[in-house]
A and B are shown apart, each in its own frame.
Chain A
Amino acid sequence: MVNYAFINPGKFHSGFQFLGPPFHHREYIEELEPYKNVKFKTAVLHNRRVYVGNVKITTNAGVIETLGDTMLKSEANQFDRFTMRGRIDVTSGDGEDIIKLESYADRVLQFKHSTLHVINATEKGEFLEDSYKFKGVVNPQAVARTDYGIAWANKFGCFIYDGRQIHDLLEDGIKRKIKQSTWDSFVTASTMVGYSPSKRQIIVVDGHTDDDTGANIFLYDIPTRAWVKGLGRVNNDDKSNFAVIPTADRTSSQLCFLKKDSSDVKLVPWSDTSAVGAIDLRMRDEDFGEPHIRKKISKIYVTSKRGSGITVSGATNGSQNFSDITFDVGTISVDQTVWTKTEHKVTAGGNNVYSVQLKFSGTAANANFEINDISVVYRLKGVK
């Protein structure tokens, strides 16, 4: 039988010579052998290392351990090699597991169930920079990477970490934009956060299962720092997590998720393009700068495009009763493709009011419906 081997050095009977045992060579440290297997609930690449969190390890002795508080970092440039040396336990036994890891600006963000640990992680090592209570997440889909930082949502708010500090996006100075009760009922245990890079918008979806009511969203526009709400704007199907995926021609990227569709699974993108649907737009309660003076509201003008299906109504004196004012023409029936002014005369309810609040509602017949401006014609009444 002729058998073969490949020999090194590649000359017959020519070996690597050692005059003596090379005791100066590096030691093999058994304790630093890579784990036999490492499963992880979350992972992030940072500084040419992989950090995995909430792990289930199998040691070389075959012992299986589940370590919910543990983060393991790989050796530098060795993305499959996790050893005991790379174990990082920021806190343990605190009743919280690691849910999600993200990295930004030399920091690893360790999201636990209710606490966020910000870990300064450089080539020299890691140290806990700060811990924030009530800034954790309950599911990994509630965290998204943006080009401004890491965004996430929980029952207490929607936040972004910009590398220096955490901003609550629901707040603007001393002002809170979304009621706590609204937000609390909107956010669920399966809330998802995604980032649409084309318009720099953060999209918070109420849940990812088909039994989540509504499949509603809150959308935060980073350039304008404005929130709006979307109703039924994502499919009410089982959904995967969000991911930002390059377009087919690789010139752009889009926010996508997988959704269950009958017996298939479909990859669908979030589209910034306006889509038809029912609207409920309520303006501020306008007192025209004179809260204590009665006014007569005589008419309003609306400049819009493709306004078919939209009705204007009004409430007075902060009543939120949008049948207080009656207009001669309540619908914006003009369906022009260019800006078009419509006039709506007040036929009842507009006299002797202190304030007026307008509401636009209905189902836009055309996706290109837009409002450019609204004018209210009024007259101040004399002070008695």
Chain B
Amino acid sequence: MPKKIHRLVNFEGGVNESSDPRDVETNEVIQSDNVVVDELGKLKLIGEVSSTAITTFSSQSIEPGFGLFSYSTDRDNAGNLNHTDWITMLNVADGNVDLRHTTSGSSAVITDKLDLGGNNDNVRGSFYFADGVLRGTDSNFAAARNANTQWYGYTDSKLFHTTDRDTNNGTAVHEISRWTGTDASLKKLTDMGTPVTFELYDAGATNPSATQITNRKNRIVLAYWKFDNGDWNGDYQFGFTPVYVGDQEGPMDIHETQTITCADHKVLFQVYVQNADSATVSAGDAHILGDDRIIGINIYFRPYGEKTFRLLKSIDLKEGGQNHWKAYNSTDHTAHGVFAGTVTLAQPVQTSGSGTNSYKEATATVTINNTNYSNGFDDRKGILRLWGFNASPEYHDVKVELDVQDGSSSGTNFPISVVLPSAGTHEFRAELLDEDFNVVAESAPIETTIADSGLISTDSDRFDYGSEYGAYADREDEETWYNI
């Protein structure tokens, strides 16, 4: 028989040690210790763990099976916007997690960034990473450790904007731009390192003074003031929750010791977040409510005795809504924004002719004497409302600057065009309203008798079916004047 050649050229089937050696596929082998078949038609040596370390953590120790986690952030350790890869290294000796850049150019080990509470007792790190933040915890529940799950991420909060962010990024009182390590738990405000305290304050007469705005941080004063003609009735209790980055609401603190009592009131609220004895906050300072992650406060209310709280208002600690935030001084600002003085309405004067005895266009002059004019009425407007005239109530169509008045003079006059009402005795009155149409001051009424109800022309330009002319139903000259 002639010689034959049998060639073995394919090995990509790898090991088949379970079948009979004679029955394995022609591209399989029976044993392949340290030989790899990942390239077709070739057998070669397998790889191994590199003897060259990527990095070394000196004088550290690990819990077998745990401690390594990889994640990537948009920022480097200096806080600059550089895509950066990181690893964790949990040192079982002390339970602290070191972090290290694995990206070129920044090889420093950043030590002890998360404390998982280890005491050399088999601390086992468990991690997750979401939206730029690393969370780590000790998953060894058997160990007697009390450390909470930890949070480590970059905080970029511009708090307490005093100007519009759309203009040059606005002006923030406290710019937090740093890596923050803290408990991951969403604490209630009273569970902060320094517990936050609360107070309700009736600001109907004056803003809070140093009695309420104390020399400490971590305190919230909810100022309120009431007006008539509202629907608040009874006692109301309030609760406060922190809102953390990501719109994560923390647990509520119920303010048990104070309520607001109302009887057909409408209520206005203003929030004061204390900052001790400074109008500024340095960038490196701690968050004044105790956690860098807090970006808002939710205020809740409930009728006293009921179980359910409902949201009253969400307060944005960053931009603060349309009117942003403002620094408040407990000594100088207690009277700011609170109107004090008089509103006086003078006898209306006909625009043509004289007196007030005819249905005619006239000018009613309101004099506002704001003795508190200098006390912080920036951007505050008032609205004049006149009663008793032909179109009643009549709103002055130009808002009144509330800080116009020089307190040493007799006041500032606001001449307003009005139309006198029909014949008879009428009472005229002027009210100064705030932006929310609440009466902050009113004039003494003046009583005026109008003898001549005036004429209304047949001129179609002046003909009006409005009810305001109903008073002319008793016209004498029926050929010329119509009863309406």
Q: Is the CB of B232 within 8 A of A221?
A: no
Given A18-B269, A279-B34, A288-B4, check contact A38 B149 (CB 8 Å).
yes
Q: Is the CB of B18 within 8 A of A45?
A: no
Chain A residues whose C-beta falls within 8 Å of the C-beta of B104 in the assembled complex: 248-250
Chain B residues whose C-beta falls within 8 Å of the C-beta of A182 in the assembled complex: 17
| B-contacting residues, A169-216, CB 8 Å | 175-180, 182, 190, 192, 199, 201, 208-210
| A-contacting residues, B24-61, CB 8 Å | 24-26, 28-38, 40-61
Smallest CB–CB gap between A304 and chain B, Å? 9
Q: Is the CB of B336 within 8 A of A12?
A: yes
Segment with Cβ contacts to B, from A104-112, A114-122, A123-131, A234-242: A234-242
Chain A residues whose C-beta falls within 8 Å of the C-beta of B62 in the assembled complex: 238-240, 258-260, 265
Smallest CB–CB gap between B1 and chain A, Å? 5
Chain A residues whose C-beta falls within 8 Å of the C-beta of B184 in the assembled complex: 37-38, 80
Complex partner residue of B41 from A257, A277, A372, CB under 8 angstroms: A372
Segment with Cβ contacts to B, from A1-9, A160-168, A323-331, A345-353: A1-9
| A-contacting residues, B226-282, CB 8 Å | 230-232, 236, 239, 241, 244, 246-252, 266-279
Q: Is the CB of B68 within 8 A of A373?
A: no
Interface string of B208-226 (1 = CB under 8 A from A): 1010011100000101110
Given A12-B333, A34-B186, A75-B248, check contact A281 B272 (CB 8 Å).
no
Chain A residues whose C-beta falls within 8 Å of the C-beta of B135 in the assembled complex: 43, 79-80
Q: Is the CB of B312 within 8 A of A25?
A: yes
Q: Which residue of A lies closest to B211 (CB)?
A: A3
Interface string of A12-30 (1 = CB under 8 A from B): 1111111111110111101
Q: Is the CB of B3 within 8 A of A33?
A: no
Segment with Cβ contacts to A, from B123-131, B393-401, B444-452, B472-480: B123-131
Given A20-B232, A177-B18, check contact A28 B139 (CB 8 Å).
no
Segment with Cβ contacts to A, from B6-14, B408-416, B422-430: B6-14
| A-contacting residues, B97-115, CB 8 Å | 100, 102-104
Q: Is the CB of B68 within 8 A of A256?
A: yes
A73 at the interface (CB under 8 A from B): no
Q: Tally A-B pairs: CB < 8 A.
A: 547
Q: Is the CB of B268 within 8 A of A15?
A: yes
Complex partner residue of B30 from A10, A190, A282, CB under 8 angstroms: A282
Segment with Cβ contacts to A, from B324-332, B360-368, B458-466: B324-332
Chain A residues whose C-beta falls within 8 Å of the C-beta of B66 in the assembled complex: 240-241
Q: Which residue of B lies closest to A302 (CB)?
A: B8
Smallest CB–CB gap between B121 and chain A, Å? 15
Q: Is the CB of B18 within 8 A of A178?
A: yes
A280 at the interface (CB under 8 A from B): yes
Smallest CB–CB gap between A354 and chain B, Å? 9
A111 to B381, CA, bound (A): 65
Q: Is the CB of B12 within 8 A of A44?
A: no
Interface string of A32-53 (1 = CB under 8 A from B): 0111111111111100001010
Smallest CB–CB gap between A351 and chain B, Å? 13
Q: Which 8 pairs between the two chains have the least Cβ-Cβ distance? A: A226-B14, A20-B231, A13-B337, A12-B337, A15-B268, A12-B336, A10-B326, A274-B45
A166 to B303, CA, bound (A): 57
Please tell me the size bucket of the interface on A.
35 or more
Q: Which residue of A lies closest to B315 (CB)?
A: A8
Q: Is the CB of A26 within 8 A of B268?
A: no
Q: Which residue of A lies closest to B139 (CB)?
A: A41
Smallest CB–CB gap between B36 and chain A, Å? 5
Q: Which residue of B lies closest to A366 (CB)?
A: B45
Please tell me the size bucket of the interface on B.
35 or more
Q: Is the CB of A11 within 8 A of B326?
A: yes
Q: Is the CB of A6 within 8 A of B311?
A: no
A339 to B189, CA, bound (A): 74
Interface string of A283-296 (1 = CB under 8 A from B): 11111100100000
Interface string of B304-318 (1 = CB under 8 A from A): 000011111101100
Q: Is the CB of B59 within 8 A of A263?
A: yes
A256 to B279, CA, bound (A): 51
Smallest CB–CB gap between B129 and chain A, Å? 8
A66 to B143, CA, bound (A): 13
Segment with Cβ contacts to A, from B81-89, B342-350, B384-392: B81-89
B64 at the interface (CB under 8 A from A): yes
B358 at the interface (CB under 8 A from A): no
Chain B residues whose C-beta falls within 8 Å of the C-beta of A10 in the assembled complex: 162, 320, 323-326
Complex partner residue of A235 from B40, B49, B278, B375, CB under 8 angstroms: B49
B166 at the interface (CB under 8 A from A): no
Chain A residues whose C-beta falls within 8 Å of the C-beta of B137 in the assembled complex: 38-40
| B-contacting residues, A60-90, CB 8 Å | 60, 66, 75, 77-81
A178 to B24, CA, bound (A): 12
Given A37-B149, A175-B16, check contact A28 B337 (CB 8 Å).
no
Given A34-B186, A268-B53, check contact A4 B277 (CB 8 Å).
yes
Chain B residues whose C-beta falls within 8 Å of the C-beta of A259 in the assembled complex: 49, 62
Interface core residue of B35, B58, B183, B320 (most chain A CB under 10 Å): B35
Q: Is the CB of A286 within 8 A of B6?
A: yes
B417 at the interface (CB under 8 A from A): no
A227 at the interface (CB under 8 A from B): yes
Q: Is the CB of A23 within 8 A of B67?
A: no
Q: Is the CB of B377 within 8 A of A12?
A: yes
Chain B residues whose C-beta falls within 8 Å of the C-beta of A269 in the assembled complex: 49-50, 54
B355 at the interface (CB under 8 A from A): no
Chain B residues whose C-beta falls within 8 Å of the C-beta of A178 in the assembled complex: 15, 17-18
Q: Is the CB of B277 within 8 A of A230?
A: no
Smallest CB–CB gap between B156 and chain A, Å? 17
Q: Is the CB of A275 within 8 A of B45?
A: yes
A16 to B26, CA, bound (A): 83
